[in-house]
Structure 1
Amino acid sequence: MEKITVIVPCYNEEEALNYYYAEMNKVMGELSEYAFELLFINDGSKDNTLGILKSFSQKDERVKYISFSRNFGKEAAMYAGFKNSTGDYVCLMDADLQDPPKLLPVMLKAIKEEGYDSVATRRVTRKGEPPIRSFFARLFYKIMNFISDTELMDGARDYRLMTRQFVNSLLELSEYNRFSKGLFGWVGFETKWIEFENVERVAGETKWSFWKLLLYSIEGIVAFSTAPLAISSFIGILMLVVALLLIVFIVVRTLLFGDPVEGWPSLVCIISMIGGIQLFCIGILGQYLSKTYLETKKRPIYIVKESKLK
């Protein structure tokens, strides 16, 4: 009997877990010809998430869990799930039911009958999401697809079903600074996309604030493109050319018309602008340098406090 491992990262999801478990039980009933492993990753939750997972595992031998020593982030939770999965097929899914479990049979059919290595999902609408957040999300995908060789699908969710070969390829990428949306595309393989309308959380609140999403987007840009470094170099060359032209202009004006003392406000503005550009370019360089610094430390991606895997 083939096995499907379902990886479910959890951070303060006590309100949603019972709903999720009930929905997954329905799907597992439909796919009774497969063995299932529900692998929950407790990412340092501060509520009763771990207690609920323990109760699930006591009454259902299909439920396994790994609990981190602190919050390491969703990327670390996904990597831990991949590393500890044992299924022939591996599914990544959120616990808030924004990733509809009912799509799993359709995804499995695409792999089994159509020969795909991975089946991924994307939202075609962003209903219920703040307009400003939707705008910046779409902008991020456009920027990434313009500056990176790795294609990112607009509206892509982490919800996907993968073959064991696909997962093993991901595990070979053991980098500390992880951006899985890019890694999924970087490893290649044949991927089918399934579209669905946005589903709001069944319970609880999102853990992704605008600020966290902004930092995550910077992580993706730095991880999959060196274009910002090229842009900073181009800006430096452009400002040098502008400065040379201004020098020529000032010399000519002085020789022809003298050099009256005027224009100090514009001078202050120019100095401020150049200083800002310099700090911006140094900041870009600092982002790449910081990622290199973190990689060279060779720290573990996550630390397990307790688990039940058998």
Structure 2
Amino acid sequence: MTKKLSIIVPCYCEEESIPLFYDAVEKVALQLPNIKLEYWFIDDGSSDNTLDELRKLQQKDPEHVHYASFSRNFGKEAGLYCGLQQATGDYVAVMDVDLQDPPELLPKMLGYLESGEYDCVGTRRVDRKGEPPIRSFFAHMFYKLINKISDTEIVDGARDYRLMTRKMVDAILSMSEYNRFSKGIFSWVGFKTKYLEYQNKERVAGKTNWNFWSLLKYSIDGIVSFSQTPLNIASYVGLLSSVASVIGIIFVIARKLIYGGSAFGWASMVCIFLLIGGIQLLCLGIVGKYIGKIFMEVKNRPVYILKEKK
């Protein structure tokens, strides 16, 4: 019995990588008997010739290749969500177009799913060779932090590259939230997952569109989406500041009654005021981040807007 495997490929300014990716996966497809491939390339409002390359590829293989193009750049999370919505396969894979996700793992991943023991086969890098050391350090710190402050476990080094059953994909699609963090969502929905390890691979073409600050912002979004610990910290800091203020007031009154004289230490008081003011602004910023997320959710805007689909 032939089953369909849908491959979701988010693309942003990847005109050089698209034909290389397609050729590489087609070679692996020869090792997948009784499997029909369905490609869904999601153009995330690219500013280069990505959309033209997708049109050419779709004309070359209209039976298997499909694409959707956004009206602007909505981000990788929107691309993943769109791909999951469009996919019609019995199995659904998520892959990066730069071939840092090795297609050679697909047969092994499919084997685990067809055994019926697992609902998802994910991948994780065992090293970060080729990445700047500072980026690797903060990546490890992020995974350690979010696993300590969140009930949702995210495997260190886990990639978005994974193969899922239709049941798991439907569960993910039931979470229609606007602020999406797929690594957390994949884990939150549950289902038994097997992780395959592999060595880090370099991009086949082009350059990454992720820099340190975009990854930092993405990490903060992930923490806010799957943990209330920052809000708890703000509450604890506020409580400690209040207690310290009461103790300070008692101390000043007691000193006045015992020793007399006028109040002194204006410079230190100004420093304390600035410190307390800074803590208040920090706490307001944390609360504001969560309120901002709520604001975006209640506006009920679409996660993405399609310009073209074929």
TM-score normalised by L of structure 1:
0.96
Q: Secondary structure at the residue paired with 1:160?
A: strand
Q: 2:298 aligns with which of 296, 300, 304?
A: 296
Task: Trace 1:83-122 onto structure 2 (pairs within 5 A).
Answer: 83-113=85-115, 115-122=117-124
Q: For residue 127 of structure 2, what is the aligned residue in structure 1?
A: 125
**Conservation of the 8 A alpha-carbon contact between 1:111 and 1:117:** yes
Q: Secondary structure at the residue paired with 1:30?
A: coil
**Conservation of the 8 A alpha-carbon contact between 2:57 and 2:65:** yes
Q: For residue 34 of structure 1, what is the aligned residue in structure 2?
A: 35
TM superposition shift of 1:114: 5.3
Tell me, which stretches of 5 or more residues in structure 1 are unaligned? none
**Conservation of the 8 A alpha-carbon contact between 1:176 and 1:298:** yes
CA distance in 2, matches of 1:298, 1:138: 34
Q: Output the amino acid matched with 2:276.
A: I
Q: For residue 271 of structure 2, what is the aligned residue in structure 1?
A: 269
TM superposition shift of 1:21: 1.5
CA distance in 2, matches of 1:249, 1:287: 36
CA distance in 2, matches of 1:35, 1:256: 88
CA distance in 1, matches of 2:172, 2:83: 11
**Conservation of the 8 A alpha-carbon contact between 2:19 and 2:57:** no
RMSD: 1.2
CA distance in 2, matches of 1:47, 1:173: 32
Task: Trace 1:34-183 onto structure 2 (pairs within 5 A).
Answer: 34-60=35-61, 61-113=63-115, 115-183=117-185
CA distance in 1, matches of 2:192, 2:261: 68
Tell me, which stretches of 5 or more residues in structure 2 are unaligned? none
Q: For residue 12 of structure 1, what is the aligned residue in structure 2?
A: 13
**Conservation of the 8 A alpha-carbon contact between 1:65 and 1:307:** yes
**Conservation of the 8 A alpha-carbon contact between 1:253 and 1:259:** no
CA distance in 1, matches of 2:19, 2:274: 56
Identity %: 57
Deviations 1:56-104 (A, max 9, x none): 1111121110011111110010000000101000000000111111111
**Conservation of the 8 A alpha-carbon contact between 2:143 and 2:156:** yes
TM superposition shift of 1:140: 1.1
TM superposition shift of 1:252: 2.1
CA distance in 1, matches of 2:238, 2:190: 36
Deviations 1:182-208 (A, max 9, x none): 100111010001111111211111111
Q: Output the amino acid matched with 1:98.
A: Q
TM-score normalised by L of structure 2:
0.96
